[in-house]
Amino acid sequence: MHKFFVFFLLNLPLILTQQQSCQFPPSSPLAPPKPELPSVFYTRIEINTNLKTSTTRQLFYDATKRKASLVDQFNNIQTNYIFDYPSNEIHILFASANQTTGSIVEGEPLSYSPIACDTFKLTESNLVNYFFGYKKINDSFIEPDTVYHALNFKGDQFYNGTTIIRGIPVDIYESCQTIPQINAQFTAIYYFTRYNYSMPSYNPEFTRIPIRAIFKGTRDENFIQTDFTDVFDFYDFRVHRSFDSVFMTPSGVVCANRKTTRQLPQIPKQYRFSEEITNQAMTKYITNLNYNDLFKAVRYQRRNPRQEEETFYSTDPLTIIHDYNIGVSFALNKYHRNCSISAISVLNFDSDKNFTNSLYDSDGSYVIRLKSPESFLLLDSDYVYTGKRFVNNVPSDVYISDRSTRNKSIISEFAFSSDDFIFHESNQIDKSIPVRLWVKENEDVSYSSFYDYDSLPQDYQSFDVSECFSDEREFDFRIKFPYKKYGLSPDQLKEDKIFKFTFSFTLIQSTNESFTRFKTPKISASSDGYLYIRSEILPQPPAISMFTALPNYWLISPSVAVLRNLTSPEECAAYCLKNLSCLSFDFGKTTLTCFLNSKHSVNGTASSMTGYVHYSRNTLNGFYSRQSYEIWNILQELVRNKQFILAVKLVDPQLPTVILEAESIELVSKNDNQFGTTQTLSKYNRKYTGKTFKTNIDREYFQLNIDDCARACNEELGFECKAFDFCYLHGDCRLSKSIPSDQPDDFFEINECDVYEKDSLYHYNEYPTKSFINKNDKQLEKVKSPSECASFCDNEKSIHCRSFNYCPDQGLCYLSERHVISDSEQGFSSDLLCSHYWRDYLADFTFTSSANIILDADLVYDGADLKQCSISCVISDGFNCKSFDYCPATKKCLLNKGLKANSTISTQNKDLCYNYRREYFYVTSQNANKKVKNLNNNLGIMIGLSIGFAFFGLFSGGVMMVVYLKKKNKL
């Protein structure tokens, strides 16, 4: 229908004819000069014909931009012709006149939806392109013909005197015109304002403007020559007016066959913004929306102030975090301190419904997936560039797309800021930033305005779900990286966000776990050249949240396992997660039977057993979702094998990528403190806040910092320091050999002081992911942590406990008399479920006294510390070491095969030393005055293991050792 209108309107009175006998004599030499016309103008024209028809036309012309436009209203049809010479296109739009709202001249283009819009190639559309004509400069460049062509005022003009038109003095010009395309010949009579006459409010550069034109002649109309007499009255002729928007198709209009002249901006893999969504019913505010395709994560805050949200039935703001690695949604209401964990619905705006539907249609599989960076912004269909316009007061490039389906009309229009536009007071590095998305679905229109957009590496804290597990945390850890060793300067460490992002991404890749299993890392750098990054392994979400229920379906296929007498689908889901082959399960409500399946599909068949429900794993990927202790063991293995490496790409592109290799990893006490947890302080738990010792003070220091106080407790030689208090106002530090009482009344109340006690694991060493469980070990159940197991080992009376194995999955603790050094490494087994812990060698010695002694013994080491000295005594070669003296000033270690007391004989070669008597040996639980069996046979194993477990640092790291044996006089 609309193409008939095109043909009909192309034959409007503008195309007038004149007989072939049209001739005019030359103009008089006294005639005024031919009017000069501007290259940019607008005018409104009223056209009346001898057929008593009337047309209103608006004409826009800009030769400088190679653009032109006509808007005609005729017989209640409005037609808009847009001539786009740079793209060699003509866009023709039709709409009923009563759909028109607003003026195309004033500001934005028309907002009505036309009946249709078609695009044609300008140089091939002879029935249209003669309106303004065209000049072909070369194969890729055309421009409109002159303004004289546009007004049919071209060629020689005969001056025919003056007259008055609408009260305006005018000059009369007549000429012969032809249009070969439609066999048109006509006389054009033009009336311009009189020479030297100035119209009020018009441009002084162009004072002579058209007032009226009369066209007489013949033309082909439906292949019949027809006579015409038509009158054009010009109104509101304006020069140099800005009307860029009229050269664009109206907002929300898709033109068939339109070319793509400009590609969409490149969409990054991660970005964030805030959004205001408005439609006829409501306004929603989505703030701090973070999209991250690397993490497969979306995070946003949502608030609808007009109606309650279904999650918590309140108007409170909600923070939503979607983890598409495991298909789980975390919804937090910080006002009510609620956290709802559930499966992500395919109906969520960030879910790729097309992907889910295609799998379901093919074999009945139900799986969700995060939308791509483009489709998340509704940019997954073909968008066509429509031009530049101001959107939300921002100069923007506008693109449009028709995403209509069989049953629904969907038009989307996206505006991006122009490349050269910089937002006010912004650290903007992105170009072409999203400004607004306009969507019309049938008759419903919505606007989404974007604010605060950027694509810099995101703060990992945005995806932190630790508030959902506030009472269940177990593995708070810290990894140590040397930074000076790799030439990294302290200034580069200030790029905190990039280091956090890189560390988090490395955690995810190296463990094959999702981002929601780790807390936001905290980073600190020490002056000793080390970077400390602290994080936490969060508990596994509820197993059932990783599955979506499909009621009344039952997968008819061989199961990988059948479990009976289970109490709930939640229990069945937990078993499915532990089986790497399990992708779905069926649970019978009445039979309490669980079938684990190796595929997602439901075969598309409704189960005749309505008591069964099919549960499909939400995602296809290979994320394991292990227990926390398994992740912890994996991280330890990676660090120990030097496989946990950060590759940090700094913001400055001139700087090389920074490579950091993890040096060590350790658990950090949960009882954090106001000073932050340092490596030294991590071996202590804060027992009380705002208290200090009343009694049991064994040594005092002043003007220390808390690290120095903890270090003093560690290095105390006169007694075994088990606790200290610290008052941060003056740096008072007091050490105690007693375990702090559990009665708060046994302490003074002083706000500036805290009491710390050594963790039970302080004197144990861990062999992670290895276990050494013997049938004679004492087994304890329901043990909550390695520290609790260590405490049982310390206080056990029935055996002399030197080591233990802890299995967090089952809460089992195995106490053993064996020490790792007394048995072959073949006794150990790799075990992600358990870890082995053994006591420091020093724990088998008792401090006796201190004195100035002769630096003489059976074996002497230089450059040792106290722990290394105890190890030397245990693995001494050639004799049974029963005691040792340690001299901290000279770092000498004196090993003795007898239980002799410190000698105070006067000599120049003496030093203040501390004597330790050996109470236990490692082969049996017998004490030191019993004979040691098979010690020589075990020396090779002892030495190999001590080096392999990196406890005998005496032989490495630049410690110089001088060994000399001296023949002793017999006592």
Sheet arrangement for strand 530-537: 522-525, 530-537, 475-482, 664-667
Asked if 284 and 302 count as a contact pair (C-beta separation under 8 A), the reply is yes
**What's the average model confidence in pLDDT over 625-639?**
88
| pLDDT for the residue numbered 399 | 93
Most confident of 136-140, 493-497, 561-565, 894-898: 561-565
Q: Which of 192-206, 625-639, 823-837, 920-934 has the lowest mean pLDDT?
A: 920-934
| 219/814: higher pLDDT | 814
pLDDT band at 657 (very low <50, low <70, confident <90, very high): confident
Closest to 861 (Cα-Cα) out of 882, 891, 889: 891
| pLDDT for the residue numbered 482 | 87
Closest to 298 (Cα-Cα) out of 258, 279, 271, 338: 271
Q: What distance in Å separates the CA atoms of residue 866 and residue 844, rounded to the nearest whole number?
A: 13
pLDDT digits 0-9 by tens, 530-547: 888 889 999 989 999 999
Q: What distance in Å separates the CA atoms of residue 326 and residue 409, rounded to the nearest whole number?
A: 34
| 877/469: higher pLDDT | 469
Residue listed under structure tokens 């007989």: 19
Q: What distance in Å separates the CA atoms of residue 731 and residue 700, rounded to the nearest whole number?
A: 11
**What's the average model confidence in pLDDT over 2-23?**
43
245: left (phi over 0), alpha (psi -120 to 50) or beta: alpha
Task: Answer whether residue 650 shows pLDDT above 60.
Answer: yes
State the chain's mean pLDDT as an integer.
Answer: 79
Q: What DSSP character marks residue 946?
A: H
pLDDT band at 109 (very low <50, low <70, confident <90, very high): very low
Q: Which residues of 479-504 are buried (b: 16+ CB within 10 A; e: fewer)?
A: bbbebeeeebeeebbebebbbbbbbb
**Percent of the chain topping pLDDT 70:** 79
Calculate helix-pair angle for 496-511, 628-640, nearest 10 degrees: 100
| pLDDT for the residue numbered 74 | 83
| pLDDT for the residue numbered 103 | 36
Q: What DSSP character marks residue 768?
A: T
| pLDDT for the residue numbered 44 | 93
Q: What DSSP character marks residue 552?
A: T
Task: Answer whether residue 17 shows pLDDT above 60.
Answer: no
* 843-918 belongs to CATH 3.40.50.620: no
Distance between the two ends of the chain, CA-based, in angstroms?
124
| pLDDT for the residue numbered 507 | 92
Task: Answer whether residue 314 shows pLDDT above 60.
Answer: no
Encoded tokens for 911: 């030093």
Residue type, 142: I
| pLDDT for the residue numbered 258 | 92
Most confident of 72-81, 211-220, 622-631: 211-220
| pLDDT for the residue numbered 941 | 33
Closest to 398 (Cα-Cα) out of 273, 249, 258, 278: 249
| pLDDT for the residue numbered 548 | 92
679-758 topology per CATH: Hepatocyte Growth Factor (3.50.4)
| 871/960: higher pLDDT | 871
Q: What distance in Å separates the CA atoms of residue 41 and residue 68, rounded to the nearest whole number?
A: 10
The CATH code of domain 40-101+109-247 reads: 2.50.20.30
Task: Answer whether residue 3 shows pLDDT above 60.
Answer: no
pLDDT digits 0-9 by tens, 477-516: 889 988 877 777 766 666 667 888 889 889 988 998 998 9
Q: What distance in Å separates the CA atoms of residue 819 and residue 803, rounded to the nearest whole number?
A: 6
Task: Answer whether residue 119 shows pLDDT above 80.
Answer: yes
- Other beta carbons within 10 angstroms of residue 200's beta carbon come to 4
pLDDT band at 101 (very low <50, low <70, confident <90, very high): very low
**What's the average model confidence in pLDDT over 545-573?**
86
| pLDDT for the residue numbered 234 | 94
Task: Answer whether residue 327 shows pLDDT above 90.
Answer: yes
Q: What distance in Å separates the CA atoms of residue 16 and residue 182, rounded to the nearest whole number?
A: 10
Same fold, 40-101+109-247 and 679-758: no
Asked if 80 and 110 count as a contact pair (C-beta separation under 8 A), the reply is yes
CA atoms within 13 A on the CB side of 425: 0
Q: What distance in Å separates the CA atoms of residue 346 and residue 625, rounded to the nearest whole number?
A: 21
pTM: 0.64
The number of residues making up the chain comes to: 971
Encoded tokens for 473: 């945390």
Q: What distance in Å separates the CA atoms of residue 487 and residue 485, rounded to the nearest whole number?
A: 6
| pLDDT for the residue numbered 169 | 94
| pLDDT for the residue numbered 966 | 30
| 461/36: higher pLDDT | 36
Asked if 285 and 307 count as a contact pair (C-beta separation under 8 A), the reply is no
Helix (H, G, I), strand (E, B) or coil at 464: coil
* 764-839 belongs to CATH 3.10.310.30: no
Task: Answer whether residue 106 shows pLDDT above 60.
Answer: no
pLDDT digits 0-9 by tens, 904-948: 445 567 888 888 888 765 433 333 333 333 333 333 333 333 333
**What's the average model confidence in pLDDT over 133-150?**
86
Asked if 622 and 607 count as a contact pair (C-beta separation under 8 A), the reply is no
pLDDT digits 0-9 by tens, 164-181: 999 999 999 999 988 777
Q: Give phi and psi for 791, each to the nearest 5.
A: -65, -40
| pLDDT for the residue numbered 191 | 96
Question: Residue 87 contacts by C-beta under 8 Å, 6 or more apart in sequence?
Answer: 259, 261
Q: What DSSP character marks residue 777?
A: S
Question: Residue 919 contacts by C-beta under 8 Å, 6 or more apart in sequence?
Answer: 844, 845, 846, 927, 928
Residue listed under structure tokens 């008072």: 732
Q: What distance in Å separates the CA atoms of residue 397 and residue 227, rounded to the nearest whole number?
A: 47
CA atoms within 13 A on the CB side of 677: 22
| 494/624: higher pLDDT | 624
Task: Answer whether residue 249 shows pLDDT above 90.
Answer: no
pLDDT digits 0-9 by tens, 665-707: 888 765 444 344 455 676 788 888 888 999 889 999 988 878 7
Domain coordinates in residue numbering, the chain:
40-101+109-247, 460-540+627-667, 679-758, 764-839, 843-918
Q: Is the dihedral of CA 311, 312, 318, 321 positive or negative?
A: negative
Asked if 627 and 834 count as a contact pair (C-beta separation under 8 A), the reply is no
Task: Answer whether residue 901 shows pLDDT above 70.
Answer: no
Strands 297-303 and 522-525: unpaired
**What's the average model confidence in pLDDT over 783-796?**
88
| 916/900: higher pLDDT | 916
**What's the average model confidence in pLDDT over 708-715?**
84
CA atoms within 13 A on the CB side of 349: 12
- Other beta carbons within 10 angstroms of residue 22's beta carbon come to 18
| 90/308: higher pLDDT | 90
Helix (H, G, I), strand (E, B) or coil at 160: strand
Closest to 214 (Cα-Cα) out of 176, 248, 187, 253: 187
| 1/601: higher pLDDT | 601
**What's the average model confidence in pLDDT over 232-257?**
84
Most confident of 616-620, 622-626, 830-834, 951-955: 616-620
| pLDDT for the residue numbered 755 | 92
Encoded tokens for 78: 């409005």
Task: Answer whether residue 872 shows pLDDT above 90.
Answer: no
pLDDT digits 0-9 by tens, 750-781: 888 889 988 888 878 777 767 777 778 899 99
| pLDDT for the residue numbered 392 | 87
The CATH code of domain 460-540+627-667 reads: 3.30.70
pLDDT digits 0-9 by tens, 388-445: 888 888 889 999 998 888 888 889 999 999 887 877 555 556 788 899 999 988 888 8
Q: What DSSP character marks residue 901?
A: P
**H/E element holding 893?**
strand 892-896
pLDDT band at 526 (very low <50, low <70, confident <90, very high): confident
**What's the average model confidence in pLDDT over 785-805?**
87
Task: Answer whether residue 733 shows pLDDT above 90.
Answer: yes
What Rg, from alpha-carbon coordinates, does the chain have? 43
pLDDT digits 0-9 by tens, 720-732: 888 999 987 778 9
